Amino acid sequence: MLRQRCGMTRNDPIKHFFIWPALLIVLVISIFPLIYSLTTSFMSLRLVPPIPPRFVGFGNYVELLQNPRFWHVAWTTTIISFISVALQYVIGFSVALALNRNVPGEGLFRVSFLLPMLVAPVAVALIARQILNPTMGPLNELMTFFGFPNLPFLTQTRWAIGAIISVEVWQWTPFVMLMLLAGLQTLPDDVYEAAALENASSWQQFWGITFPMMLPISVAVVFIRLIESYKIMDTVFVMTGGGPGISTETLTLFAYQEGFKKFNLGYTSALSFLFLIVITVIGLVYLAILKPYLEKHK
Amino acid sequence: MSVRDLKGNGRWWALAGCLLWLAFTFFPLYWVAITSFKSPLGVVGGPTYLPFIDFEPTLTAWRELLSGQRGQFYNTFMASTIVGLSASVIATAVGSMAAYALVRFTFEVRLLTGVIFVVVAFGGYLLGRHIAGYGQAISLIYAFVAALALAIGSSRIRLPGPILGNNDIVFWFVSQRMFPPIVAAFALFLMYTEMGKLGFKLVDTYIGLTFAYVAFSLPIVIWLMRDFFAALPIEVEEAAMVDNVPSWRIFFGIVVPMSKPGLIATFMITLAFVWNEFLFALFLTNSRWQTLPILVAGQNSQRGDEWWSISAAALVAIIPMVIMAGILSRMMRSGLLLGAIK
């Protein structure tokens, strides 16, 4: 992901002065959550009603793994992340390809395509609620105009998940596009000139040259988006609140409900660690699957 | 004609695709903007699209918002601005220094030193909390100081085992972003509460929120700035070194001015992240230092379907970022952020 760079490196005691502020801040903020949540995850600890902490070993973990709600929530989060990242990648790559080919008005497109990811997810979710509103929103009016029934966008499971995915796509495709566009601009022109001489079609050029050369960047971008998507919370919190029922609840929202509403600390901590394990496993599997392809194209 | 230009029909298909995506991107923003100028009746009566033709725009929502009828908007806006600006300035400054050090100096940390740190921190905490019977905050502070002292002390002697270099340190910083923020937010809330019992109020304070944001922006800052510094020509710095200019003056006098665009872009990306952040603000603030996303999210449950005022509230959070998007895209056209992903 990060290219190894060689160059002059110095050895000067002042380097400690440069790095210690950052190191200390991150250490303080990262080690405490780690220690605290790992130790509480092995205890039965509730703030409301207050009961004295008791060591329960893997009790919280076992309880969670036996809770169908955990599996449901993990599955929902996985669906939302995978589908939205796949869509972001496909759309983002297409738009980046177009912008890289000097489409007319490219400058305007660039400014506007940057916007969505700078808008607060909470605000985006509120706007989505307005647009998807069954009686006052424009989307259902459009659907009625074309003869479809009034659709329950936020109150029926499938539609609600679809709505959340669309909002994720709206907000984060620009990020994918931006990264891929930057990558496309570093590709050398001469390969394409050679391919054009051999009369390779654009389709052949894409699969033969562009896609393989963009693979390392693609892998990194999809990885970042996947990890970030698993943390989704504010969009769902505002759009559906996890509803109807718990059908759109995500891992972070579940942890929030257990921790901040029920103050069931041991359980929440165990949940967070399972969450961390899920993310790590998905990341490792993803990188392991793609490794042969990456090496093939080196 | 360069190979990059599309020929024939392809050009128009690409343009059509871009326009379609542009419409999809802009419609929600257009919608929220016009809704904020609608009267309550105009909202409830069903969707209308064009001001002056479909509906008569009014300033009701904005007047209510600015006069403070809809909650403490002014205070919240100021809190968001102050916390956002100071957290991004501190994070950019501290993070750039670390990034520079990681690019230009050699660091070697034994893996065992890290292990010692974690083990002593964990052990010390458990010891203090469950055997010595100290409070959570006290045992944590003791454990942290002891772990840090032992780790630094142990790095002086030659320990066996693998050595971690600069890339591993960068990886450690960046990997902090993998940690689910809900874990950190909740634990921080409890730590801040414990510190409050000791007399340092951190929940709902400027210091508490800013510190949390600085810490969580640092990985991004280090990641972006590291690539930026690495792309700078080294000759200037080498020339300065030959003249025996001290390292801190090379950094502040030569490197910082040279990397102004990178610093500004990093600062703005950090600012956007802090400005829009929801989870930490939800846990760590409750009234005085509440930020805009919390207030905006709260509009939803408090006001039901009063879309005109919700839209105005959402716009207050959006508009500063729209301005920044304009500035950022200008900087990007000069190829500024290219280095960040290589």
A residues 134-173 closer than 8 Å to B (CB): 135-138, 141, 170, 173
Whether B271 has its CB under 8 Å from any CB of chain A: the answer is no
- B231 or A153, which is more confident: B231
Q: Is the bond preceding A188 in cis, omega lying within 30 degrees of 0? A: no
Task: Give pLDDT tens digits for B65-93.
Answer: 777 666 678 888 899 999 999 999 999 99
Do A181 and A223 contact (CB within 8 A), yes or no? no
Is residue A51's pLDDT more than 80? no
Examine the pLDDT at B340 and tell me if it is beyond 80: no
- State the pLDDT at residue B13: 83
State the Cα–Cα distance between residues B33 and A207, nearest whole angstrom: 42
Cross-strand pairs, B99:
none
CA A139 to chain B, closest CA, distance in angstroms equals: 9
Who among B10, B94, B125 is closest to A21 (CB)?
B94
Q: Which amino acid is at A239?
A: M
Residue of A nearest to B12 (CA): A103
Residue of chain B whose alpha carbon sits nearest to that of A38: B122
Identify whether the C-beta of residue B270 lies closer than 8 Å to the C-beta of residue B189.
Answer: no
Give residue-wise pLDDT tens across range A168-199.
Answer: 999 999 889 888 888 888 888 888 888 888 88
Q: How far is CA B23 from CA B16, B18, B46, B320, in A?
A: 11, 9, 21, 22
CB contact under 8 A, B47 and A98: no
CB proximity under 8 Å: B 188-247 to A: 188, 190-191, 211-212, 214-216, 218-219, 222, 226-227, 230, 234, 237-238, 241, 246-247
CA A84 to CA B236: how far, in whole Å? 46
Q: What is the pLDDT of residue A2?
A: 38
- Full DSSP string of A84-101: HHHHHHHHHHHHHHHHHT
What is the pLDDT at residue A298?
Answer: 54
Enter the tokens of residue B111.
């893996």
Q: Do A127 and B187 touch (CB under 8 A)?
A: no
Give the range with max mean pLDDT: A84-88, B179-183, B256-260.
A84-88
Of residues A227 and B69, the one with the higher pLDDT is A227
Q: Search chain B and give the residue with CA nearest A103.
A: B15
CB A58 within 8 A of CB A231: no
Look at A33 and B215 and tell me if their CB atoms are within 8 Å.
no
Category of B10 on φ-ψ map: left (φ > 0), alpha (ψ -120 to 50) or beta: alpha
Q: Could you tell me which residue, A260 or B206, shows the higher pLDDT?
A: B206
Taking only the tens place, the pLDDT of each residue in A124-145 is 998 888 888 877 777 777 777 7
pLDDT over 70, % of chain A: 95
Min mean pLDDT across A78-87, B1-10, B65-74, B145-154 is at B1-10
For range B215-220, the mean pLDDT: 90
DSSP code string of A200-224:
--HHHHIIIIIHHHHHHHHHHHHHH
pLDDT greater than 70 at residue A7: no
Q: How far is CA A192 from CA A90, A99, A185, A209, in A?
A: 22, 17, 13, 8
Between chains, do A98 and B17 touch, taking CB under 8 Å as contact?
yes
Query: By CA distance, what is A40's nearest residue in B?
Result: B187
Q: Which residue pairs from B325-330 have beta carbons closer than 8 angstroms and sit at least 24 positions apart in sequence?
A: B325/A111, B325/A114, B325/A115, B325/A118, B326/A111, B327/B268, B328/A114, B328/A118, B328/B265, B328/B268, B328/B269, B329/A110, B329/A111, B329/A114
pLDDT higher than threshold 80 for residue B56: no
Distances (CA, A) of A83 to A58, A77, A163, A242, B278: 33, 10, 12, 18, 24
The answer to whether residues B202 and B195 touch, using CB atoms and an 8 Å cutoff, is yes
Residue B1, pLDDT score:
40
What is residue B302's predicted lDDT score, i.e. its pLDDT?
A: 65
Among B122, B238, B307, beta carbon nearest to A130:
B307
- On whether any CB of chain B is under 8 Å from the CB of A91, the answer is yes
Find the mean pLDDT for residues B145-164: 83
Alpha-carbon span A231 to A253, nearest angstrom: 9
Q: Give pTM, 2 decimals.
A: 0.86
A11 confidence band (pLDDT: 50, 70, 90): low
Question: In chain A, which residues have their Cβ closer than 8 Å to the Cβ of B342?
Answer: 3, 186
Q: How many C-beta atoms surround the C-beta of residue B84 within 10 A?
A: 23
